Structure 1
């Protein structure tokens, strides 16, 4: 991190229903190794010294449950507020951004369903956003990626060396990401992540190395992978 003290806020988005998980409860509250996914995510940001405040974005019907069973149980004093999400992820992020302290230099946007993010990834993301304006955590693509045409045939093989699988956090100077969201809303544009909104303003986004452990819990198979990550980390910790 740079020598100067940055004010950094985090928007953790956990408003999705998680239909692909096929469970009776929202996926953010499913347990991995006896701890809710969202609790694991919040704990990482709570304990990260570079994060000054946290805004949680959840389904409106989950606000009280989240306060009692995630924030209070974790003792998360950095959580400034819990706000309701919108119809789309983009609207949910904007709702969270509106609650971030305007004095923050950088805002970190993270998926609540990515509980295995690390302090280093967060701090690297903040540093890059402070320097370049925008940063996006990603990992190099391992597989060969091919483009297909409308008839179901391969149209081209993409150059793997320049392809990245995007993760979160994505971090931005606060005013920049607010302007990007406002412009997108005015023009009716919906992106699949926040970086694309900034790209539309002509701002280059700095890639920050993530981790193959920084998975998003989306399906039942991801829960199995998550349990394995927890066991692996616990084993590494015992050896240290």
Structure 2
């Protein structure tokens, strides 16, 4: 089955501060979005990349980066929506007709490993829905409203969700059509699939697959990329 990758980066990026949107921030000499696109273009089974970005950034991408992006399997650059799930839906509407598997990934996770992308794809072939996640290492406490600890949550069964999240095309389209007009804001695509009653499998990933949200994250990503 052909694989389409939807790379989502249409958020406001308010926590980072400054005037430059997160996907365009420089990371070791090139913008974050290009690091991420390169990782997915290295996966042979990924036949197309759809880049979902803020509407105001599309002109810049097309003017300055289209020639480069054409060499990295980027078939379409489209505007996102108000919410992340709206942006993903815009991307889903643009995937190739012959795509069988859809990967959805945050464009500001530039350190995702090629072998982990491939592992998610293989797991989707087996189970229809799978996400990359890292095991919880911290000790988690549950409290009441008064902030007194009520219990320590066993961490052996806890995972930190990451992306890419992969789904059989017909499954994810069905789920998004079911919830596209919902007022509920889903934290990730897997939550929507779970809500629809379908099982989602975990693929163990790496703590290095960070989402760059703050200046500290950017500095950490630079340290991880340096030889």
Scaled to the shorter chain, the TM-score interval is over 0.9
Deviations 1:200-240 (A, max 9, x none): 12111110011111111100001110111111xxx3xxxxx
The equivalent of 2:9 in structure 1 is 14
Aligned residue pairs total 227
Flag the structure with higher strand content: 2
Contact 2:37 2:72 in 1 (8 A): no
Match of 2:162 among 167, 180, 189: 167
Q: TM-score, normalised by structure 1?
A: 0.91
Paired residue secondary structure (2:85): helix
2:143 corresponds to 1:148: yes
Q: Distance in 2 between matches of 1:168 and 1:216?
A: 9
Q: Alignment partner of 1:81: what SS?
A: strand
Match of 1:28 among 23, 47, 60: 23
Residue of structure 1 in register with 2:172 after alignment = 177
Q: What are the Cα deviations for residues 180-204 of structure 1, in whole angstroms up to 9, with x where unaligned?
A: 1111124433210000111112111
Distance 1:157 1:120 in 2: 34
Deviation at 1:45, TM superposition (A): 1.1
1:1-240 equivalence runs, <5 A: 6-231=1-226, 235=227
Query: Which digits, 9 at most, give the CA deviation of each residue in 1:105-127, with x for residues without a partner?
Result: 10000000000111111110011
Q: Which runs of 5+ in 1 are unaligned?
A: 1-5, 236-240
Aligned-residue offset at 1:61? 0.6
1:3 corresponds in structure 2 to none
Pick which of 69-78 and 8-17 moved more. 69-78
Secondary structure at 1:202 match in 2? coil
SS of match in other structure, 1:52? strand
Query: Does the 8 Å CA contact 1:39/1:71 hold for their aligned counterparts?
Result: no
TM-score, reference length from structure 2: 0.96
**Partners of 1:182 and 1:74 in 2: CA distance:** 30
Q: Is the 8 A contact 1:43 1:76 kept in 2?
A: no
Superposed CA offset, 1:23-45 (max 9, x none): 11101100111110001001111
Q: Deviations over 1:13-72 (max 9, x none)?
A: 010121111111101100111110001001111222120001000000101212334443
RMSD: 1.3
